[in-house]
Chain A
Amino acid sequence: MGLLLLLHLVAAVAAPLLVRWWGRQAFLALALVPGAAFGWVLTRLGTVTGGGEVTETVSWIPALDLQVALRLDALALTFAALVTGVGALVLVYCARYFEPDDEGIGRFAGVMTAFAGSMLGLVLADDVLVLYVFWELTTVFSFLLIGGSGAKLAGRRAASQALLLTTAGGLAMLVGLLMISSASGSRLLSEIVTAPGSGPVMVAGTMLVLAGAVTKSAMVPFHFWLPAAMEAPTPVSAYLHAAAMVKAGIYLVARLAPGLADVPGWRPVVLGLGVATMLIGGWRSLRQNDLKLLLAFSTVSQLGFLITMVGAGSEELAAAGLAMTVAHALSKSTLFLSVGVVDHATGVRDLRLLSGLGRRMPVLAVTASLAAASLVGLPPFLGFVGKEAAFTALWDGGLPDRLSAVVVLVGLVLGSVFTAAYCARFLWGAFARKPGLPDSAPEELEHHPGPLFLTAPAVLALAGLAAGPASPLLDELVVRYAETLPLIAPEAEHLALWHGVQPALGLSAVTLLGGAALFALRSQFTRLQHRVAVGASADEGYWNTLQALDRVAVGVTGTTQRGSLPTYLGTILVVVLLLPGSVLLARTPWPDEWRAWDTPLQALVGAIVLAAAVLTIRIRQRLSAVLAVGVTGYGLALLFVLHGAPDLALTQFLVETLSLVVFVLVLRKLPKDIGDRHRPAERTVRAVIAVCVGLVMAGVGAAALSARTATPVSADIPELALEEGHGENVVNVILVDIRAWDTLGELSVLVVAATGVASLVFLRRRTGAVDRAGEEHTSGHDDTNARRAPRRRWLSASSTLAPQRRSVVLEVTTRFLFHTIVVFALFLLFSGHNDPGGGFAGGLVAALALVLRYLAGGRYELGEAAPIDPGVLLGAGLLLAGGTGGVALLLGGQVLESAYLEADLPVLGHASLPTALFFDIGVFLIVVGLVLDILRSLGAEQDRQEDEDDPADAAPDEVIVR
Chain B
Amino acid sequence: MTPTIVLPVVIGGLYAAGVYLLLDRSLTRVILGFLLLGNATNLLLLSASGPSALAPIFGYAEAEEMSDPLPQALVLTAIVITFGVTAFLLAMVQRSWQLVRQEVIEVDEEDRRVATREGMDADDMDPDDLPTEDRPAGKGNTLHSDVDVEERLAQRYEGIPSDDIALPPTGGGRS
Contact = CB atoms under 8 A, between A and B. Distances in A.
B6 A701 contact: no
Nearest to B69: A730
Count class of interface residues, chain A = 35 or more
B4 A667 contact: no
Nearest to B133: A154
Nearest to B60: A728
Contacts of A609: 10, 13-14
Contacts of A659: 35, 83, 86
B48 A705 contact: yes
A718 B88 CA distance: 35
A143 to B, nearest CB: 13
B136 A662 contact: no
A614 B17 contact: yes
B147 interface: no
Contacts of A927: 80
A153 B144 CA distance: 12
A432 B15 CA distance: 85
Nearest to B71: A714
Contacts of A739: 70, 73
Given A651-B80, A701-B7, A644 B161 contact: no
Contacts of B122: 153
A230 B42 contact: no
B137 A533 contact: no
A280 interface: no
A466 interface: no
A83 B90 CA distance: 60
B152 to A, nearest CB: 10
A688 to B, nearest CB: 10
B66 A523 contact: no
B44 to A, nearest CB: 5
A154 B19 contact: no
B80 A840 contact: yes
A718 B14 CA distance: 31
A655 B23 CA distance: 25
A750 interface: yes
A253 interface: no
B157 A698 contact: no
Q: In this complex, which of A288, A625, A754 has the most chain B Cβ atoms within 10 angstroms of its Cβ?
A: A288
B148 interface: no
Interface string A361-404: 00000000000000000000000000000000000000000000
A133 interface: no
Contacts of B127: 539-540, 543
A236 B34 CA distance: 57
A18 B55 CA distance: 66
B109 A690 contact: no
A708 B161 CA distance: 83
A662 B130 contact: no
Residue among B50, B97, B121, B137 with max Cβ neighbours from chain A (10 Å): B137
Interface in A525-556: 525-527, 529-531, 533, 539-540, 543-544, 546-547, 550, 554
Given A153-B134, A702-B3, A729-B57, A558 B153 contact: no
B36 A760 contact: no
B101 A606 contact: no
A777 interface: no
A557 B66 CA distance: 52
Given A554-B117, A558-B117, A694-B16, A596 B36 contact: no
Nearest to A640: B46
Interface string B129-162: 0100111111101111000000001001101111
B138 A522 contact: no
Contact of B72 (A561, A695, A731): A731
Contacts of B3: 591, 594-595, 701-702, 705-706
A523 B36 contact: no
A293 B48 contact: no
A670 B125 CA distance: 48
Contact of A702 (B8, B20, B40, B87): B8
Q: Which of B59, B76, B99 has the most CB atoms of chain A within a 10 A radius of its CB?
A: B76
Contacts of A678: 24-25
Nearest to B40: A697
Given A651-B79, A694-B13, A719-B63, A154 B136 contact: yes
Given A558-B115, A646-B55, A730-B57, A227 B137 contact: yes
A451 interface: no
Interface stretch (A98-106, A480-488, A565-573, A786-794): A565-573
A563 B111 contact: yes
B99 to A, nearest CB: 6
Contact of B58 (A563, A690, A728): A728
Contacts of B83: 655, 658-659, 930
Given A558-B117, A591-B2, A595-B3, A539 B136 contact: yes
A527 B74 CA distance: 79
A529 B164 contact: yes
Given A227-B137, A561-B114, A687 B20 contact: yes
Interface in A833-886: 834-836, 840, 844
Contacts of A642: 52
B79 A699 contact: no
B87 A735 contact: no
Contact of A522 (B25, B36, B120, B161): B161
A734 B73 contact: yes
Contact of B115 (A353, A434, A561): A561
Contacts of A731: 56, 69, 72-73, 76
A293 B143 contact: yes
Given A606-B6, A609-B10, A705-B50, A652 B142 contact: no
Nearest to B132: A154
A731 B79 CA distance: 14
B7 A753 contact: no
Contacts of A36: none
A563 B109 contact: yes
Contacts of B82: 655
A21 interface: no
A297 B165 CA distance: 16
Contact of B164 (A287, A435, A591, A677): A287
B151 to A, nearest CB: 12
Question: Which of A290, A540, A937 counts the most chain B CB atoms within 10 A?
Answer: A290
Given A595-B2, A702-B3, A840 B84 contact: no
A293 B137 contact: yes
B109 A938 contact: no
A690 B23 contact: yes
Contact of A161 (B39, B70, B75, B136): B136
A392 to B, nearest CB: 34
Specify which of A352, A734, A952 lies most central, judged by the most chain B CB atoms within 10 Å of its CB: A352
A425 to B, nearest CB: 8
A547 B126 contact: yes
A231 interface: yes
A207 interface: no
A942 interface: yes
Contact of A557 (B50, B84, B114): B114
B135 A154 contact: yes
Nearest to B61: A644
A648 B160 contact: no
Given A293-B138, A561-B108, A633-B35, 13 more contacts: A527-B169, A543-B124, A554-B114, A613-B14, A645-B67, A648-B46, A662-B86, A697-B12, A701-B8, A729-B56, A750-B81, A756-B88, A834-B57
15 contacts: A160-B123, A228-B136, A288-B163, A289-B163, A436-B159, A527-B169, A559-B115, A616-B17, A674-B26, A690-B17, A701-B7, A701-B11, A708-B1, A834-B57, A962-B99
Interface of B: 1-26, 28-30, 32, 35-36, 39-40, 42-44, 46-48, 50-59, 63, 66-77, 79-88, 90-95, 97-101, 103-105, 107-112, 114-118, 120-127, 130, 133-139, 141-144, 153, 156-157, 159-165, 169-174
Q: Would you list the 5 A-B pairs with minimal beta carbon distance, nearest first?
A: A694-B16, A698-B12, A563-B111, A227-B138, A558-B115
